[in-house]
Amino acid sequence: MSEFGKVAVLMGGDSAEREVSLRSGHAVTKALREAGVDAHPFDPAHNPLAELKEQGFQRAFNVLHGRGGEDGTIQGALHYLGIPYTGSGVLACALAMDKVKTKQIWQAAGLPVATSRVIRKGQAYDAKHLLEELGGKVMVKPAQEGSSIGMSSAADAAGLNKAIALAHEFDAEALVESWLAGPEYTVAILGDQALPAIRLQTTHEFYDYDAKYQANDTQYHCPAGLSDLEEMALRQLAEEAFACLSGKGWGRIDVMCDKFGNFRLLEANMVPGMTEKSLVPMAAKAAGMSFAELVVEILRRCES
């Protein structure tokens, strides 16, 4: 497709999600080439970004996951270089990468989230009191990691101290959230429209890194088993959450239900996984769109 010119598929990088990014990048490159796009893999860990201009790339399809790739850093660099790129801009990516800031924005907009507290590295806290305040069981997350890296649950003071220490290995802020009993859903966004919701089912305590990328028994249900009204409400919530962060192009919103069945927003992902078995392609397939059609549509919506 000559309309796109020479396209760099940004993959790899040097974040904790490098291997996942490489898998996404190779799948995207293959699909774009099958669709007739002049696409080439480009790993910023091995090639200076200035080479994008030197090599004549006219667009960038970004599948750099994690820090540096979806936190606004690469978006700012590409904007400075004058190369249109897929997905959201600097502000949206920076906000979405930070789970604490994301939650604060959603709360300010009146959108539903789990009760939480933020513990900064070096900050004193009473583990027993914190657990009581948040309902007795919690999920602890680094503020700025993806793919469930550094996440763990806790139901007693010793476990909470261990979970916070683990989160602090990855980030200066640990987000401690009240436990959500599930089920868990993810909603892909293309443009400003939500695709069919997917319900995630795992034998693990939660949808952790192993359940996402290594386990063979994780199940994905699309249709998600919701009533028409529930599906509509979930999609609308995801669209509002995406728009609140100034999201553009494509992305994914993760949601869980509390013990009463109420939807609670978890986080936003502005550069989701993009292998043919990933969640966004799965939702697109349910909407009648092939993987190749999906990547071409994402590329067509480049941010300049």
- In this structure, what CATH number is given to the domain that contains residue 228? 3.30.470.20
Instruction: Based on the fold, state whether residues 68 and 100 are members of the same structural domain.
Output: no
Q: Are 70 and 93 in contact (CB under 8 A)?
A: yes
CA distance 207 to 199: 11
For 200-236, the pLDDT digits (tens) are 987 655 555 555 555 566 789 999 999 999 999 999 9
Among this protein's residues, is 2 annotated catalytic? no
CA distance 130 to 201: 29
For 270-292, the pLDDT digits (tens) are 999 998 779 999 999 999 999 99
Residue 155 sits in a domain whose CATH number is 3.30.1490.20
Instruction: Based on the fold, state whether residues 204 and 218 are members of the same structural domain.
Output: yes
Show which of 163, 178, 193 is a domain's final residue: 178
How many other CB atoms are there within 10 angstroms of residue 88's CB atom? 27
Using CA atoms in the order 43, 49, 54, 56, what is the torsion angle rounded to 10 degrees?
60
Please tell me whether 240 is known to bind a ligand.
no
Percent of the chain topping pLDDT 70 = 92
Overall average pLDDT of the 60-81 stretch: 95
Please tell me whether 254 is known to bind a ligand.
yes
- The token pair at 17 is 């999600």
Instruction: Based on the fold, state whether residues 140 and 206 are members of the same structural domain.
Output: no
The active-site residue, picked from 15, 21, 88, 278, is: 278
Instruction: Based on the fold, state whether residues 134 and 79 are members of the same structural domain.
Output: no
Please tell me whether 269 is known to bind a ligand.
yes
- The token pair at 141 is 């997350």
Mean pLDDT lowest for which of 67-76, 207-216, 220-229, 237-246? Answer: 207-216
Among this protein's residues, is 116 annotated catalytic? no
CA distance 277 to 62: 18
Instruction: Based on the fold, state whether residues 30 and 74 are members of the same structural domain.
Output: yes
Instruction: Based on the fold, state whether residues 103 and 251 are members of the same structural domain.
Output: yes
Using CA atoms in the order 148, 262, 277, 202, what is the torsion angle rounded to 10 degrees?
70
Instruction: Based on the fold, state whether residues 104 and 248 are members of the same structural domain.
Output: yes
Q: Are 167 and 151 in contact (CB under 8 A)?
A: yes
Instruction: Based on the fold, state whether residues 106 and 128 are members of the same structural domain.
Output: no
Instruction: Based on the fold, state whether residues 100 and 221 are members of the same structural domain.
Output: yes
Range of the domain at 19: 2-86
Show which of 161, 178, 195 is a domain's final residue: 178
Instruction: Based on the fold, state whether residues 290 and 186 are members of the same structural domain.
Output: yes
- pTM, rounded to two decimals: 0.91
CA distance 117 to 119: 7
pLDDT at residue 207, rounded to an integer: 57
Q: Are 25 and 47 in contact (CB under 8 A)?
A: no
Instruction: Based on the fold, state whether residues 242 and 106 are members of the same structural domain.
Output: yes
Q: What is the total count of domains within the chain?
A: 3
The active-site residue, picked from 147, 178, 184, 239, is: 147
Among this protein's residues, is 17 annotated catalytic? yes
Instruction: Based on the fold, state whether residues 65 and 150 are members of the same structural domain.
Output: no
Which of 20, 302, 298 lies closest to 146, judged by CA?
20
